[in-house]
Amino acid sequence: MVKLYTEVRVERRNDISITLSDRILMLGSCFSDEIGDKLLDAGFEVLCNPFGTL
């Protein structure tokens, strides 16, 4: 069977955090729009899909 995805190993890091003083860029699907809206509601500065949904 043809594998239609690429597996990517990502190292888990506990030293990364996002604070209200950070600016966030969301790119991608409607999922990024929805998460961006939640972050905006929580007080973050977010730019969601400035070029439209990809």
- Of the pLDDT bands very low, low, confident and very high (cuts 50, 70, 90), residue 41 is very high
**Domain extent listing, the chain:** 18-54
Q: How confident is the model at residue 38 (pLDDT cuts 50, 70, 90)?
A: very high
Q: Within 10 Å of residue 35's Cβ, how many Cβ atoms?
A: 15
- Residues 26-37: what's their mean pLDDT? 93
Give the pLDDT confidence of 6-21 residue by residue, as tens digits.
999 989 888 889 999 9
In whole angstroms, what is the distance from residue 52 CA to residue 15 CA?
A: 31
Please give the span between the terminal C-alpha atoms of the chain, in angstroms, as a whole number: 28
Are 27 and 49 a contacting pair, CB within 8 Å? yes
- pLDDT over 70 for what percent of the chain? 100
